[in-house]
Amino acid sequence: MTPEAVAPPAPHRRRSRSPLAVVCTAVVALLAVAAVAGQWLLPGWADQDLATGVSMPSAAHWFGTDELGRDIAQMVVAGARSTLLGAALVAVGSMLVGNVLGLIAGYHGGLADLLVRRWADLLLALPALLVTIVVAGIGGGGYALAVGALVVLTSPADIRLVRSAVLEQRHRSYVEAAQTLGLSRTTVMLRHIWPNVLPVVVANTLLNFAGAVVALSSLSFLGLGVPPGAPDWGRMLSENRTLLYDNPSAALVPALLIIVAAVALNLLGDRLFEAFTDRGRS
């Protein structure tokens, strides 16, 4: 055998960052800071000033105040927590359920696959938001119940996604080669298949996150999410819509934030999804 001419490793080319992706990342980062530290940074969000009552935006109150004289600007920052953390919980919870059930169904097949698929089909046939409203209504509302119901109802799409991604990988030669080495099925599943499925899962979780922001805000708007008085974008939108002529920003700012958060997360998720599927193809 003649020694081979050794080529240097191909330089790893980074894809050029689009300005849109940078903006989306910045928005999501800002929202994350507000969600984690907002109530701690602005402890004055709950201060009422009944003498002032509702007021238009001013130098003292950038977005004006609500009926109780609370500062809207501070409230929306404080309100990021319930909207975003709850939505993040929904997305992560659904991802976990989807990964476990999707991996088992996709890799083992047979009866496990049949049962998981029927379960996912059943849940998919239910209108998620309506069921959550009914469940929350019967259970007397409450934030935890709403988040739990959304996890259960978001997961079937994740189960299907993971299952099909696993099926795609399962017959690749590298998976079969791992099987013929005599490795256990669990090892093959967790060490070889799962890491190659993960990128798609992560991207999808961002999309679920965006959906959950909207869903949770809707529930709060309907009075089924956070308790009254709590800072929450959906709740603020619902309570302040009567102030549209006195201080439009009291309702419009939280509404706008719901839209901005959902759009930024969606675009970021889409971009990640494309980047990952692109990589898989080349």
Partner 1 sequence: MSAPATPLLTVDGLRVASVGGERPLPLLDGVSLTVAPGESVGIVGESGSGKSLAVRAVVGLLPPGTRVTGGDVRIGGTDALALGPAARHALRGRRVTLLMQDPFTMLHPQLTVGRQIADGLRTARPRGRAARAERRAEIVRRLTEVGLEPETADRYPHELSGGMRQRVAAAAALAGDPELLIADEPTTALDAANQRAVLDLLRGLQRGRGMGLVLITHDLRVAFSACDRVYVLYAGRVLEHGASAALESDPRHPYTAGLLASEPSVRERYAALPAVPGFVPAPGERGTGCPFADRCAHVAPECRTTDLTLRPLPGEDRSSACLRLPAIRGDLTAERVPEPTPEVAEETAPEEAPALDVRGADRVFRSAAGDHRALRDVSLSVPRGTVLALVGESGSGKTTLARIAMGLETFDRGEVTVGGLALPAGARPDVADRRALAERAQIVFQDPYASLNPLRTVGATLREALVAASGKQPRARADAAVEKLLAQVGLPAAYARRRPAALSGGERQRVAVARALAARPRLLICDEAVAALDVSVQAQLLNLLTRLQREEGFAVLFITHDLGVVRQIADRVAVMYRGEIVEQGSTARVLDAPAHPWTRRMLDGLPQSAGAGTASGAADA
Q: Which residues bind partner 1 (CB under 8 A)?
A: 1-10, 13, 16, 172-174, 176-185, 191-192, 195-196
Q: Which residue, 5 or 111, is less far from partner 1 as judged by CB? A: 5
Q: How far is the CB of 174 from partner 1 (least distance, A)?
A: 5
Q: How far is the CB of 195 from partner 1 (least distance, A)?
A: 5
CA nearest neighbour of 210 among 35, 84, 37, 39: 84
Alpha helices (H) in the chain, listed in sequence order: 19-41, 72-80, 86-108, 110-125, 128-138, 143-170, 173-180, 185-187, 194-221, 233-240, 249-281
Q: Which residue, 127 or 280, is less far from partner 1 as judged by CB? A: 280
Coil, helix or strand at residue 55: strand
Q: How far is the CB of 15 from partner 1 (least distance, A)?
A: 9
DSSP string, 221-273: HTTSSSPTTS--HHHHHHHHGGGTTT-THHHHHHHHHHHHHHHHHHHHHHHHH
Q: How far is the CB of 103 from partner 1 (least distance, A)?
A: 16
Q: Which residue, 182 or 228, is less far from partner 1 as judged by CB? A: 182
* Contact call for residues 217 and 83 (beta carbons, < 8 A): yes
Q: Which residue, 13 or 59, is less far from partner 1 as judged by CB? A: 13
Q: Which amino acid is at 4?
A: E
Q: Which two tokens stand for residue 187?
A: 């090892």
Q: Which residue, 57 or 199, is less far from partner 1 as judged by CB? A: 199
CA nearest neighbour of 79 among 243, 215, 212, 254: 254
Q: How far is the CB of 208 from partner 1 (least distance, A)?
A: 24
Report the distance separating Cα 127 and Cα 170, nearest Å. Answer: 32
Report the distance separating Cα 240 and Cα 141, nearest Å. Answer: 20
What is the rounded (10 degree) CA torsion for 218, 121, 95, 102? 180
Q: How far is the CB of 280 from partner 1 (least distance, A)?
A: 8
Q: Which residue, 6 or 50, is less far from partner 1 as judged by CB? A: 6
Q: How far is the CB of 186 from partner 1 (least distance, A)?
A: 10
Q: Which residue, 7 or 50, is less far from partner 1 as judged by CB? A: 7
